[in-house]
Amino acid sequence: KAGVTQTPRYLIKTRGQQVTLSCSPISGHRSVSWYQQTPGQGLQFLFEYFSETQRNKGNFPGRFSGRQFSNSRSEMNVSTLELGDSALYLCASSLRPGTGSLSTGELFFGEGSRLTVL
């Protein structure tokens, strides 16, 4: 079956602009998580959606937002871009939500959207 698809793969923006990234999960997966990956900070959790509801949110400013549609596809938006927002943004889907104490479900990651802010 098709994997997690993220678009666009690469994009360049300037400070102050906004960006929207898209993620299509594996068919049947209803949970989508977003992560920011940078060389200095590693993978940082942004948020997770399940059935169109945000279940968890990481420690990022309000400029970072997301949503999930009824077909489980998800988008994340970053407004008023800053240089420090340059990163690889990874989307991951899973069958069930969360990775809590009862869940050892695998996360399936997309190839990421590499954002460069100039």
Shortest distance, CB of residue 93 to another protein, whole angstroms?
Answer: 11
How many CB atoms neighbour CB 39 within 10 A? Answer: 7
Q: Which is nearer to another protein, 12 or 17 (CB)?
A: 12
Shortest distance, CB of residue 23 to another protein, whole angstroms?
Answer: 11
Binding site for another protein (CB under 8 A): 4, 33, 35, 41-45, 48, 55-56, 58, 90, 92, 97-104, 106-112
> Which value, in Å, is the radius of gyration of the alpha carbons in the chain?
14
Q: Which is nearer to another protein, 35 or 117 (CB)?
A: 35
Shortest distance, CB of residue 16 to another protein, whole angstroms?
Answer: 29
Q: Which is nearer to another protein, 66 or 110 (CB)?
A: 110
Phi, psi at residue 39, to the nearest 5°?
Answer: -60, -35
Q: Which is nearer to another protein, 48 or 85 (CB)?
A: 48
| 14 half-sphere exposure, CB direction, 13 A CA radius | 0
Taking phi over 0 as left and psi of -120 to 50 as alpha, with beta for the rest, 30 belongs to: alpha
Shortest distance, CB of residue 104 to another protein, whole angstroms?
Answer: 5
Of 62, 76, 73, 66, which Cα lies nearest the Cα of 31?
73
